[in-house]
Structure 1
Amino acid sequence: MSILVLVRHGESRWNLENRFAGWVDVPLSEKGIREAIDCAKHLESFEFDVAFTSKLTRAQTTLFLILSCQKKTGIFLHDDLKRDNWSHHPMRFDDTEMPIYSSEALNERYYGKLQGQNKQQAREVYGEEQVFIWRRSFDVAPPDGESLKDTYERTIPYFKNNIIPFLEKDKDVIVVAHGNSLRSVIKYIEGISDEDIPKFELSTGDPVIYDYKMGKFNKIKK
């Protein structure tokens, strides 16, 4: 049996300002830093073997705060730096080190023209109903942006091809990413319907924990 922990990054400065962040590389707020540290305390009994995160600072910072509280040194593995026969990664890691894989596939949903806008101001410009549809529907994208369905279609292949293989090897995995990329993963794991996923919320810095055995996920109550 293995463990999978999913963590939405701590509050970002644009979460605090009620702005659409998407792929804009916004740092954590002071509250977000505290949320990451509180999350680490909640997870202190876990011994992770490998970590995954997005390419965005707010997720990576949250992960590093969690690992530092566990006295782990995170080491990014950069597959894009391979050169012929050069080996720039260690063949093994000691007990204080944690391999980290980072991918745009785990990035937040891309909000297109809404990125950077205050959500209330967007409602005033486009109308409350339209903004609600863009934010909460499964398959309607904002202008030049991604729908949750689009996010799902890039996140889930990565999850299947890169994360599940570690779980099948009985490795304990932590994934620190974003509200919509992780909602996509949870939709896949729990079989949430297209109609019901818009109702599902994921709080910042609040871990969702599953055990994985014989190809099946079981949610663990906190």
Structure 2
Amino acid sequence: MDIGKQMLVLMRHGQSLDNEQDLFSGWRNPALTARGVAEAHAAGRKLKELGFSFNLAFTSKLRRAQHTLALMLEELGQPTLPVHADTALNERDYGALSGLNKTGARSLWGAEQVHLWRKSYDAVPPGGESLAMTAARVVPFYEREIAPCARAGKRVLVVAHGNSLRSLVMHLDGLDPEEIVGVNIATSEILIYCLNKRGHIASKTAMPASSIA
């Protein structure tokens, strides 16, 4: 892989206890499972093997993302890398769904409604956020804090969550609300964006978890 100076790497955190139990997490703060810890270590080793190093990193205020990032930086040999943590990168707030098993939620509200809450752009779960509402905090933060660093030639690592990253990918890839429904980012999946001299996306490489271990 040709690793240029202008590089943006996105990764979803490793498996959490809520992921393991198939629960809606949202702004809950579960720890990583043993598998999640292993996924984080493997991701860091893989990036180092490919020749990656970073100038700074961004993450959310939730510990599953912060722990994943810390373990990756250990493997990269960059444990003191500057890290900026912000609630703007938190997972979407699932409101009344938070902490519920997804099968149980389907029995309460129906499979079609739960699918809309999970995957559509505009549907808002009770007391929570739609993907559009998540994007309304993620994208401005990206444009204000992350994009200028990447455009300045810094290699940037972002470790966040399934939906905060989906909203960012929608922005970066120019996807419409219908297209984002089919986008899923698995735990420990890595997305690598190479930028041109103008800061625009030149190429994208997806590394699923199965290719990292």
Do they superpose with TM above 0.5? yes
Deviation of 1:30 (Å) = 1.0
In the alignment, which residue of structure 2 is the partner of 1:94?
Answer: none
Aligned equivalents of 2:109, 2:76: Cα separation in 1: 45
In the alignment, which residue of structure 2 is the partner of 1:61?
Answer: 67
In the alignment, which residue of structure 1 is the partner of 2:110?
Answer: 127
Aligned equivalents of 2:202, 2:35: Cα separation in 1: 30
Deviation of 1:185 (Å) = 0.8
Counterpart of 1:105, as a letter, is A
Aligned to 1:142, the other structure's residue is in SS state: coil
In the alignment, structure 2 segments of 5+ residues that lack a partner are 208-213
In the alignment, which residue of structure 1 is the partner of 2:176?
Answer: 193
Deviation of 1:220 (Å) = 3.6
Q: Where does structure 1 differ by over 2 angstroms across 4 or more consecutive aligned residues?
A: 218-222
Aligned to 2:116, the other structure's residue is in SS state: helix
Aligned to 1:196, the other structure's residue is in SS state: helix
Name the larger-Rg structure.
Answer: 1
- Give the alignment of 1:77-92 within 5 angstroms: none
Aligned pair 1:219/2:164, yes or no? no
- Give the alignment of 1:42-191 within 5 angstroms: 42-44=46-48, 45-73=51-79, 97-191=80-174
In the alignment, which residue of structure 2 is the partner of 1:86?
Answer: none
* CA RMSD, Structure 1 to Structure 2 (Å): 1.0
Q: What is the TM-score when the length of structure 1 is the normalising length?
A: 0.87
Counterpart of 1:168, as a letter, is R
Aligned equivalents of 1:154, 1:141: Cα separation in 2: 15
Q: What is the TM-score when the length of structure 2 is the normalising length?
A: 0.91
Counterpart of 2:188, as a letter, is G
In the alignment, structure 1 segments of 5+ residues that lack a partner are 74-96
Aligned to 1:199, the other structure's residue is in SS state: coil
| Count of residue correspondences | 199
Deviation of 1:212 (Å) = 1.2
> What do the CA deviations read for 1:176-212 (whole angstroms, capped 9, x no partner)?
0000001111110110111110100111112100111
Aligned pair 1:8/2:12, yes or no? yes
Deviation of 1:175 (Å) = 0.1
Q: Percent identity?
A: 42
Counterpart of 2:145, as a letter, is N
The structure with more helix, counted as a fraction of residues? 2
Counterpart of 1:60, as a letter, is Q
Aligned to 2:177, the other structure's residue is in SS state: coil
Aligned equivalents of 1:16, 1:35: Cα separation in 2: 13
